[in-house]
């Protein structure tokens, strides 16, 4: 059985130290702040990124670079290793197609090599859950195919729901009309958003007030856990530079469900450029999205 490596993109929001420790290859997605490009060695801290957005600076995102993908995949090809790539949702970025095209080109040049690219139809710690599971299965001696089969089977059960604090960032990102953003802000509306079965970011509900929004996220989680209630990889909580709210939700989840393996991470620029500072999300496995 050929050795395989796990690769992903920088928008998984997993701790870089954890990825490095487990030799997970990372392909950068890029972002801009006021037209200045970041994402491959040149980075802003999460606080710097969100402070820039608070100051009114324009943030945008860019997909992975095809040349960088080829370089990374060829590095593993020369080592005689296969690849399991766990990808950001194809519905949100052209990065997935760039990865697939790069994988096909490398496999043409190295016919003995196998690259499996999985579209998680997810983002952030949704990818992270699958990365953690892939690492665990690899350590257990599972093959590339066995690991890929498990992940493909469970990706449809990835649930990501989140709320935002400022509707204007959704407007700037093209996710909401200007009139809706203004009206919603006036009456303190907080939307509940989720990733649907196609991996698109869509509205699920709207509530009044921040506290109600955070409570709704946990209530929705309880309604969707189903047969996965006692079968989680970990519970993910992500935030746009509002760690106190993320820790509050973590405590509520622990008290209500007994979960202790909870990963709290900042939302990276790929989603944060659209959700803005103050966004909070919950990621878990459930019966339905």
For 45, counting Cβ atoms within 10 Å of its Cβ (0-12 exposed, 13-18 middle, 19+ buried), the class is exposed
Contact predicate 263/237, CB 8 Å: yes
Element (H, E) at 93: none
pLDDT of 180: 44
**What is the value of pTM for the model shown?**
0.93
CATH code of the region 157-285: 3.30.1180.10
The CA distance from 236 to 283, in Å, is 5
Please state, in angstroms and as integers, the Cα–Cα distance from residue 250 to each residue in 34, 117, 157, 160, 219, following that order.
Answer: 34, 32, 21, 15, 13
| Structure tokens belonging to residue 170 | 């959704």
Tally of CA atoms within 13 A in the half-sphere of 171 that contains its CB = 13
| Structure tokens belonging to residue 6 | 């796990």
> What tens-digit pLDDT sequence spans the chain (289 residues)?
789 999 999 999 999 999 999 999 999 999 999 989 998 788 999 999 999 999 999 998 888 999 999 999 999 999 999 999 999 999 988 899 999 999 999 999 999 999 999 999 999 999 999 999 999 999 999 999 999 999 999 999 999 998 987 766 665 555 444 444 433 444 467 888 888 999 887 878 888 888 999 999 999 999 999 999 999 999 999 999 999 999 999 999 999 999 999 999 999 988 898 888 999 999 999 997 7
pLDDT of 220: 95
pLDDT of 172: 59
Size (the chain), residues? 289
Could you state, in order of their start, the residue ranges of all structural domains in the chain? 4-155, 157-285
Q: Please, what CATH class does the domain formed by 4-155 belong to?
A: alpha beta
């Amino acid at each position: 059985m050929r050795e395989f490596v796990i690769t992903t993109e920088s928008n998984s929001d997993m701790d870089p130290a954890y990825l490095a420790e487990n030799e997970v290859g990372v392909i950068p997605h890029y972002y801009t702040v006021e037209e200045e490009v970041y994402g491959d060695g040149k980075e802003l801290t999460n606080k710097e990124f969100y402070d820039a957005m608070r100051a009114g600076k324009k943030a945008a995102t860019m997909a992975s670079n095809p040349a960088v993908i080829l370089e990374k995949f060829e590095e593993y090809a020369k080592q005689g290793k296969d690849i399991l790539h766990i990808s950001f949702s194809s519905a949100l970025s052209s990065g997935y197609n760039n990865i697939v095209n790069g994988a096909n080109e490398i496999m043409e040049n190295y016919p003995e090599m196998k690259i499996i690219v999985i579209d998680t139809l997810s983002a952030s710690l949704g990818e992270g859950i699958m990365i953690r599971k892939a690492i665990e299965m690899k350590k257990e001696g599972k093959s590339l195919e066995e690991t890929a089969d498990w992940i493909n089977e469970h990706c449809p059960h990835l649930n990501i729901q989140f709320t935002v604090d400022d509707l204007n960032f959704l407007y700037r990102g093209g996710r909401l009309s200007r009139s809706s953003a203004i009206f919603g802000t006036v009456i303190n509306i907080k939307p509940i958003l989720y990733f649907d079965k196609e991996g698109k970011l869509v509205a699920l509900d709207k509530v009044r007030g921040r506290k109600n929004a955070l409570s709704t996220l946990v209530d929705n989680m309880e309604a969707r856990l189903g047969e996965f209630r006692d079968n989680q990889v970990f519970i993910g909580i992500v935030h746009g530079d509002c760690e106190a709210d993320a820790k509050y939700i973590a405590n509520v989840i622990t008290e209500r469900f007994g979960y202790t393996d909870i990963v709290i991470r900042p939302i990276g620029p790929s989603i944060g450029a659209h959700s803005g500072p103050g966004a909070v999300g919950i990621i878990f496995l459930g019966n339905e999205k």
